[in-house]
Amino acid sequence: MSFNIVVLAKQVPDTRNVGKDAMKADGTVNRAALPAIYNPEDLNALEQALRLKSQIEGATVHVLTMGPARAAEIIRESMYRGADGGYLLSGREFAGSDTLATSYALACAIRKIEKVDIILCGRQAIDGDTAQVGPQVAEKLGLPQITYAEEIIDLKNNVITVKRRLERGVEVVKGALPMVVTVNGSAAPCRPRHAKLTMKYKHAATPTEKQESGSDYTDLYDTHPYLNIDEWGVNDIEHDIQWLGLSGSPTKVKQIESVVFTAKESKRLTPANNEIEDLMKELIANHTIG
C-alpha cells in the first residue's frame, strides 16, 4: 500500500529580524537585505510528515513549492531532512499571485500528483501572516481541513486524529483522509536527520539548476534518478489561465506606506533614588497610578 504525503512549503524572506537596511528609501522592501529561509511553520509540517512516513510502511513525502528557481533550495533542504523528493512550480505566469491565485496554482499541481493521501502545510508564512493558502487549497480540491494542528495523535484505517492548538485551549478532532492539515508553530520542531542524507542529496537539482551549473554531472542524474527535482511550468499543469497570477488575484494593493512613528518629547531619567521617587510621586499626584 502506498501512502503519499505532500507538504506545501514556501521560501520566505526572514522578516523576523528586520534590520535598518530592510526598507529602501522609496518605502519598498529591500529583499536582498533579507535572507531567504524555509518558512518556519512549514518545517513543523515537514516534521509531522516525516513522523507519518516513519510509522507507515511504504509512505513517501514530497514537497511542493511555488516560487522562483532558487526556491528549489528548500526542496533540497527537505530531502536532507528526510523527504523523498519534490516539485518546484515556477514561471512568470504565477507572478503577482495573491493567496487565492497561489492556492489555485497549488491545487492544479496537486491534482497532477497521483493519489495524495494527506496534504500538510504550515499554518501561515511569515512574510504575509495570512494563514489563507492551506484552507483555500483544501476548498479548491474539495477536501476537508484541520487547521492549527499541534500533533497528529493517531492515524488508523484512514482516520486521522489531530490535536489543535487554539487561542484559549485545545481541541481534538477526528476525520477520514484525504485531508489538508495546517500545522502550528507550537508543534514539534523539525529535528535534523542523519548527515548521510545531506551527502546523498547534495547534488539534487532542478533542470534549470543543472543547466546553470554546466554539464559536469550529466551522467550522475542518469545513474541516480532520485537526484532529479521536478520542475513544473504553467504548461505542465491543467489550468485556466484567468485564475493564475494577477488576473486570478481578486485583491489589489492600492498603496504601500512605510511605518513612521511620531516622536515625543521625552523626559530623561537615571535610576538614581531621588529621580525614581519623584517620578512615582508625580504619577500618584496626577492619578495615573494609585
The span from the CA of 19 to the CA of 255, in Å, is: 23
The span from the CA of 72 to the CA of 65, in Å, is: 8
Q: Using CA atoms in the order 93, 99, 104, 105, what is the torsion angle rounded to 10 degrees?
A: 40
For the chain, what's the residue count? 290
Query: How many other β-carbons are positioned within 10 Å of the β-carbon of residue 44?
Result: 25
We find the least distance from the C-beta atom of residue 19 to another protein, in angstroms, to be: 10
Closest to another protein by CB, 150 or 231: 150
We find the least distance from the C-beta atom of residue 79 to another protein, in angstroms, to be: 28
SS3 of 47-81: the string is HHHHHHHHHCCCEEEEEEEECCHHHHHHHHHHHHH
Would strands 11-13 and 36-38 be described as parallel, antiparallel, or unpaired? antiparallel
Cell of 236: 505542465
Closest to another protein by CB, 196 or 264: 264
The span from the CA of 245 to the CA of 248, in Å, is: 5
Cβ contact 80:197 at 8 Å: yes
The span from the CA of 148 to the CA of 163, in Å, is: 8
The span from the CA of 203 to the CA of 210, in Å, is: 9
